[in-house]
Amino acid sequence: TGPLLTATRLRKTYGPTAALNGAEFTIDSGEIVAVMGPSGSGKSTLLHCLAGIITPEGGTVHYRGHELSAMSDAQRSKLRRGDFGFVFQFGQLVPELTCAENIALPLRLAGTNRKEAESCALEWMARLEVDDVRSKRPGQVSGGQGQRVAVARALAARPRVIFADEPTGALDSLNGERVMELLTTAARETNAAVVLVTHEARVAAYSDREVVVRDGQARDITSA
Ligand code: ADP
Ligand code: ADP
């Protein structure tokens, strides 16, 4: 069947800056891979290319055998809604919706009926230990709670790949470790792969494998 997601020789420039310069990446179903490296090395750009958020100038990204750049915009956005889930440093929750509504939103967009989406949202809030803030808006909860809600939202839609960019970057170490524990446990239970961008060894410790990005090139340190 081959790997779930692969990238070969990715190249992406911003003006004179080569953010990616020949980066390679591969991840299997259910695998948790930490993407590490210094600030500005190209980690976020790699994640955005893998998720089809930006299109590289060179190289290819294949998801389950399909090349992302060969898809239409509509196909790519369908993929991002259905198969991919996202957790970023600042939760990106919709401020006008309650926490429960935020979690239900991707399910609703994927066609799940309201009742089912609501009960699924509450189930995931319980698992992430934030069911007490279900009726609060994101601005009314703590950073740790907001990030758990963001993780619940990403997982409730049952993605095959979760893209997490510094998911604990805004949290203290205790909350960060708890969020990582909950995220990785739920990912393993649902066999979701996780692309985990972090510069913290403590966070990377939750992964199966570490890849280091330096000067726009990614290297698997286990095979270096
Ligand atoms: P990291 O996530 O490792 O910190 P990034 O992928 O964000 O690295 O950035 C890689 C390089 O590309 C950096 O030099 C950064 O300044 C540059 N870069 C990233 N995004 C943009 C952008 N939208 N416009 C201009 N330069 C960018
Ligand atoms: P956590 O351990 O998740 O970071 P805190 O100990 O920071 O939680 O917060 C405890 C309580 O205080 C939470 O129930 C939350 O609703 C409330 N709270 C924390 N930070 C904020 C904030 N910035 N705005 C509003 N309420 C907050």
Condensed to tens digits (0 to 9), the pLDDT of residues 90-117 reads 768 999 999 999 999 989 988 899 999 9
List pLDDT tens digits, range 49-85.
Answer: 999 999 999 999 999 999 999 999 999 988 988 899 9
Cα-to-centroid distance, 133 and ligand 2 (Å): 10
> Rounded to the nearest whole angstrom, what is the distance from the C-alpha of residue 142 to the centroid of ligand 2?
4
Which pLDDT score is estimated for 138? 95
Q: Is the pLDDT of residue 222 over 60?
A: no
CB count, 10 Å around CB of 122? 17
CA of 166 to the centre of ligand 2 (A): 20
Cβ < 6 Å from ligand 1: which residues? 14, 17, 19, 37, 39-45
Q: Give the pLDDT mean for 175-204.
A: 94
116 is written with which tokens?
């089912």
Contact 155, 190 (CB under 8 A): yes
Residue nearest to atom 16 of ligand 1 (CA): 40
Q: How many CA atoms lie within 13 A of 53 on its CB side?
A: 12
Of 44, 196, 219, the one to substitute when testing ligand 1's pocket (max ligand atoms within 8 A of C-beta) is 44
Which tokens in the block code for residue 202?
């403590």
For ligand 2, atom 20, which residue shows the shortest CA distance?
A: 142
Q: What is the pLDDT of residues 195-217, one digit of tens each?
A: 999 999 999 999 999 999 998 88
ipTM above 0.95, yes or no: no
Residues 6+ apart with CB under 8 A from 148: 128, 129, 130, 179, 182
